[in-house]
Chain A
Amino acid sequence: MNDGAAARGAARVSLDALLAPALGNEKALEVVSHACRSLGLGDPAHLTIDQQRRVLDALSAGGDYVATVARFAKARVLLAR
């Protein structure tokens, strides 16, 4: 993240769209929605980049397939911004 203002702003790409290539649309939306609820965040479609990072951190915490997909999305997209 190069720009602090951008970090606080609305994300341009939804998290489920980032995870869908490996999980499919429906499963991606399910895991993101579940993580948002667990973290007390709002609508998954309207997360800030910081909130997206929190969701991906939570999803990445496990050692399973979904965790790898989340960690990869974080490295490839969020950290590249």
Chain B
Amino acid sequence: MAGLCVVSELFDDAEPEIIRARIAERLAGRRAALVVVFASPARGLSAITAALDLDHEVVVGCSSAGEFDGRRETKGGVSVFAVAGDLVATAGMGTGLRDDVGGAVERALAGQPASIEGHPHRTGVVLLDPLSGVGEHAALLVAEHLGDVPLAGGAAGDDLAMKETRVAFGGHAATDAIVVAQLFTREALGLGVRHGHEILSGPLTVTRAEGAKVLELDGRPAWDVWKEQTRAAAEAVGIDVDTLTDADVGAFLLRFEAGLKVGTETKVRAPLARHADGGIAFATALPEGTVIRITESTPGSQVQSAHRAALDARAALEGRPVAGALVFDCICRNLILGPSFTDAVTGMSEALGGAPLAGFETYGEVALHAGELSGFHNTTTVVLAFPGER
């Protein structure tokens, strides 16, 4: 991938025109093929993507729950990733995800090419609204449309408010929407995905559910069961499950997530919000009859899993150096690590050889290697590495 130029920049507090000028400066005036923006809801996603769209080919983004580069993280900020050079990017956005997931995915992919001459490798990047509750469904439909193409991406955040998350394409941002970008490259990108959660509870069966909302577990209100099963572990980290306020519930649920047994492994599903009826809303569907186990994680395994995801992505480049990387990292890691989250960020940077990286704290992640059968994750770190010249 000759001549690839990747830059990343983290802004604590900057106006769209300042961000635009800084990215142009970092690219030395080059027009990026792809710009990805992760912005706190406090920052005005559409204004930022609209400003960057004036200078670059394809600009996509989403709202976030924390932003970082390879050195540090911030809250209420903006993280920008830009790549110029020998790759071709296309993208689209589809709205109406909750009620018509298939239609939304088709609209996001409408008019996008299946191939670009001279760029034999194709990678999909997916950004979606997790509050629509169709994370896995949408990821599988994108994969079905694209064929055996690796996918990476993330579910937008909203600084843990759990009210409204947005994705953006060009200067337009929308809720209840999905953005699908395609990257056509001369060499394959590297994808890594890992989580650091372990089983806490015994098996719990979803006995009543409506889409992504689980109303009952083992015949009892889901929230009551969640409190009961996590009480001791929560107490050990200073959380009293009986006095949680509405504002605290999102963060609590993202520490103690649901796990599906897949063979001997555990695949995590994120609970996002408590409902007044005792139900719990998830980022993707959990049909009645699904058996879950509540999970937890230690700070050490959170740092280690992020590092391993970065190493996996780098290894997938088969000896080529890393030119830069996009990182989609579950907000749970930040909640568990607190100020030590910086250790996870710098660990990933070190594993990627110090290449520029930009990332955000997600409510879900997308990662699908060719041939795999599930693409939506929670609690993971997903790293998409771009190859440099040997």
Contacts and interface: CB of A to CB of B under 8 A. Distances in A.
Main secondary structure of the interface of A (DSSP, over half): helix
Given A18-B373, A71-B144, A24 B137 contact: no
A24 B290 contact: yes
Interface string A1-42: 000000000000000011111111111001100000000000
A75 interface: yes
Given A68-B141, A72-B143, A76-B373, A25 B262 contact: yes
Nearest to A31: B289
B291 interface: yes
Interface residues of B, number: 26
B284 to A, nearest CB: 8
Nearest to B211: A65
Nearest to A23: B290
Interface string B169-213: 000000000000000000000000000000000010100000000
B140 A24 contact: no
A55 interface: no
B373 A68 contact: no
A65 B143 CA distance: 14
A56 interface: no
A66 B372 CA distance: 16
Nearest to A72: B140
A65 B134 CA distance: 9
Contact of A22 (B148, B205, B374): B374
A63 to B, nearest CB: 8
Contact of B373 (A27, A31, A64, A72): A72
B372 A21 contact: yes
A65 B148 contact: no
A49 interface: no
B267 A24 contact: yes
Interface string B280-301: 0000010101111000000000
Contacts of B111: none
B137 A21 contact: no
Interface in A57-81: 63-66, 68-69, 71-73, 75-77, 80
B3 interface: no
Contact of A73 (B267, B289, B373): B373
A65 B289 contact: no
Choose among B205, B285, B372 the residue with the greatest number of A CB atoms under 10 Å from its CB. B285
Contacts of A68: 137, 140-141, 144
A41 B119 CA distance: 46
A31 to B, nearest CB: 8
B136 interface: yes
B261 interface: yes
B143 A26 contact: no
B263 interface: yes
B373 A24 contact: no
Interface string B241-284: 00000000000000000001111000100000000000000000
A42 to B, nearest CB: 22
Interface in B97-151: 102, 134, 136-137, 140-141, 143-144, 148
Given A21-B267, A27-B290, A75-B144, A65 B285 contact: yes
Contacts of A31: 289
Nearest to B267: A21
Contacts of A18: 373
Nearest to B373: A21
B291 A27 contact: yes
A57 B168 CA distance: 36
B338 interface: no
Contacts of A73: 373
Given A21-B267, A24-B261, A77-B373, A69 B140 contact: yes
B47 to A, nearest CB: 35
Given A65-B287, A76-B371, A77-B373, A24 B292 contact: yes
A22 B291 contact: no
Nearest to A66: B287
Contacts of B134: 65
Pairs of residues from A and B, 3 with the lowest C-beta to C-beta distance, nearest first: A24-B260, A21-B374, A26-B291
